[in-house]
Structure 1
Amino acid sequence: MTLIYFASPEWAAYEPHLPAALKAAGIDAEIQTTAERPEDVDYILYAPNGPLQDFAPFSRAKAVFSLWAGVEKIIGNQSLTQPLCRMVDPGLSESMVEYVTAHALRAHLGLDAHITRSEPGWDHRPPPLARERVVAMLGLGELGLACARQLQSLNFRVKGWSRSPKQIAGLESYHGDAGLGLTLEGADIIVTLLPKTPGTENILNATSLARAKRGAAVINPGRGPLIDDEALLAALDSGQIGHATLDVFRVEPLPADHPYWAHPNVTVTPHIAADTRPASASLVLAENLRRAEAGEPLLNLVDRLRGY
C-alpha cells in the first residue's frame, strides 16, 4: 500500500506518529511526501493548507483522508472524485469542550470585570447560578453535542439547534428557521459549532442576534462565516451583545486592521479551540485505512451534497 502525505510544514509532526499507528493496526504501508508516480498512490492524506490542488492524476487512489475537521476548502474541488473523509478525533472533542466550557463560565461568572479591573471597586452582588442561565448551542454534531452535555452537567439550561430534526434524549432541541428563533430566544450565551455551508453562512445576523437576551455573550469556535461581522459589531456597540469570544474568522490570520482587535468587548483567540493532535489523529487515520483495505464502511465519510 502506498500513501501520499500532503500537508504544510507544521503538519510534519504526523510523520513520527503515523508509521507507529499504522504498524499497530497491522498495516504495512509506504508513506511518500512527493508525487513522483501519482498513478501508484492508493490513499491520500491531506491538509487543505497543503500544496495539493489537483487530484486527477491520482487515478488509483481509493480515498482522501483530510487531517482537518472542516472540509469547506476542498468540498468544491472538481478534480476530487475519490471518497473524502474528514477528521473526527476524540482529541478535537476534548479540546473543544474545554474551550467552550471555559469561555461559557467566564461569561457566566463575569470574570473579566475582576481580571481587567483598573481601580479599586467592591461590587458584592454574586452572579446568578448556572441553572438560571440559558445557553443556545447552534450545532448538534459531535462537537456541539459534547459541549452541550458538559454545560448541562454544570446545570446550565441548554437549548440546541440543528438544521434537520434530531431527537436527543435529555436535550431541548429545535431545528429549521422557526426553531432557530426559539433556540436563541432569551439566550444568555450563544455558542456556534456549525459547519460552513450556504445554509449556515451569516446565521448570526442582526435579526438572530436580536432574539438573544440583551447583553448576551457570543462564543464562536465553529467557522468564521457563521457570523455577519458588521451585524455583530453593531450589536456589541448597542449593548445587545455584551461580549464576543471569537476563535475563527473569514480571513485568517485576522488582519491587523480588523475592528475586532480594537473592540473592548471582543476577545480574539488564534484558532486554537480544537486543533488536530497528531498522536490521536494518527490512530483515526490508521483505523480508516484498515477499514478501507478490509472493505468496511469508512469513518466520517463526507456527504458532498450536505457539505460535511
Structure 2
Amino acid sequence: MTKSPLLIDLKFSDRAAVVAALKRHFADRDVIDLGAAENAGRDLSACRYAILWQPDADLFSRATNLEVLFSGGAGVDKVLALEGLPDAPLVRFVDPSLTRRMSEYVVLQCLFHLRQVAAYRDSQEARRWQPLPQPEAGAVTVGIMGLGELGRDAAAKLKMMGFNVVGWSRTAKTIEGIETFDEAGRDAFLAKTDILVGLLPLTAETTGLFNLALFEKLRRGGPLGAPVFINAGRGGSQVEADIVTALDRGLLGGASLDVFETEPLPAESPLWDRENVVITPHVAADSDISALFAHVERQIARFEAGEPLEHVVGRQRGY
C-alpha cells in the first residue's frame, strides 16, 4: 500500500541535518519539506500527517486532509495559536534527548548562580584575587514550577547534585523524595524557594505569571542573599520589565533566561547589560532533528496500526 506523504514545515537552519534525518527515518515515504525551495506551491492535499513549527499562514488552506499534527518542539502554544488549525490530534514532542538537554541546562544555571560564576568572572577581568563565601547545594532550595516530563527529570538531577528541591504544579503531583505543592499551596512553595525554575507551558493561566508580585513572595534571607530566577519554559510566562525591576530592587539577585516575550530579544532590552543575568537564545532543550523524526515515525506506526497516539495535547488546557 502506498504510504501517505508526510508534510514538514520546520524551517530549521541546518538543512543538511534535516535531509540526513529524513533519509534515516522516512526513506520509504514521500516527504514534502516546505523548507526546500523546490516544494514551494506544491499540492498538499494528499498529506495526512504534518510536523509543524511556525508554518506559513496559508498552510491549512492548502493541506486540507491532515489527520495528525506533530509539534516540532516541546512547546505547543505557537501551533495552537495558528489560524485555521484543523480539528486533528496534536502530538507533543517528548523524547529522552530533549529531556536530558533541559535538565543539563537547569543544573548548569543553578550551579552558575550557586558558585557565583559571574562575580568570579568580574574578578578575573579586574585581575582581583577575591575568594567569596559560598553555600553548598544542600543549603539551597530550588523550586520548580512545572512538573511534567521536563520538570520531574530536572528535579531528580538537582536532587542528585545535593540541592533541596520542591515542586509546584497547578494540580497536585506526587514525586518520591520531593515536597510538592498545588495551586492552593503556591505561596508556601514560593516562601521556601531560593532558586525559582520555570518549566511551565504557556496557557491563559501562566501568561505573565512570573511578575513582580510573584518575585516578592520568594524566600528572603536565604543562603544566596537574594533569590534567583531561571526560565527555560515559555517567554510569555514572564514579565521582563518586572524582572528588571526585581533585579534593581534586590528582590532577585540574578537570573538565567532562555526564553523571552519577544524573540529574538530586542537589542535595546536592558537585560543584555546585566552582569548577573545569563541570556541564551532559546536553546536550553533545542530539538534534535533525528530524535524528532524518530518520535514521529513511532507515532505514525502506532496510528496506522490502530493503536492510540501518545502525548496528545489537550486543546482546552493547552498542553
Same topology, TM > 0.5: yes
What is the CA distance between 1:100 and its match in structure 2?
0.6
Deviation for aligned residue 1:78: 4.6
Q: Deviations over 1:39-94 (max 9, x none)?
A: 2112112222x335442443332111121111111213352222111211221111
- Counting only pairs closer than 5 Å after superposition, residues 228-307 of structure 1 correspond to structure 2 as 228-307=239-318
- Ranges in structure 1 where 5+ consecutive residues have no aligned partner: none
Choose which of 60, 72, 80 in structure 2 pairs with 1:75: 80
**Where in structure 2 are the equivalents of 1:38-49 lying within 5 Å?**
38-48=44-54
Runs of at least 4 residues of structure 1 off by over 4 A?
none
Give, in whole Å, the separation in 1 of the partners of 2:240 and 2:132. 35
Question: Is 2:8 aligned against 1:5?
Answer: yes
CA apart distance, 1:220: 0.8
Letter of the structure 1 residue corresponding to residue 110 of structure 2: A
What is the aligned partner in structure 2 of residue 18 from structure 1?
A: 22
* 1:191–1:220 CA contact under 8 A, matched in 2: yes
Contact 2:21 2:290 in 1 (8 A): yes
Residue aligning to 1:32:
32
Answering whether residue 156 of structure 2 is matched by residue 173 of structure 1, we say no
1:142 to 149, 156, 162: 149
Partner of 2:60: 55
Deviation of 1:201 after TM superposition, in Å, equals 1.3
Q: Is the 8 A contact 2:173 2:180 kept in 1?
A: yes
Q: Are the structure 2 counterparts of residues 9 and 211 from structure 1 closer, same or farther at C-alpha, using a change threshold of 3 Å?
A: closer
Do the aligned partners of 1:69 and 1:88 also contact (CA within 8 Å) in 2?
yes
Gaps of 5+ in 2: 34-38, 221-225
Question: CA contact under 8 A between 2:229 and 2:252: conserved in structure 1?
Answer: yes
Tell me how large the CA RMSD over aligned residues is.
1.7
What's the TM-score once normalised by structure 2's chain length? 0.89
Gap change, CA 1:122 and 1:265, over 3 Å in 2: closer
Between the aligned residues of both structures, percent identity stands at: 34
Q: CA deviation at 1:167?
A: 1.8
1:213 is aligned to 2:219: yes
Aligned-partner residue type, residue 241 of structure 2:
E
Match runs of 1:111-130 below 5 Å? 111-117=117-123, 118-123=126-131, 125=133, 127-130=134-137
Contact 2:255 2:277 in 1 (8 A): yes
1:227 equivalent in structure 2: 238
Q: How many residues align?
A: 301
- For 1:94-105, list aligned pairs within 5 A: 94-105=100-111
Q: Displacement of 1:5 after TM fit? A: 1.8
TM-score (norm. length: structure 1): 0.92
Q: Which amino acid aligns with 2:75?
A: G
Is the Cα–Cα contact under 8 Å of residues 89 and 276 in structure 1 kept in the other structure? no
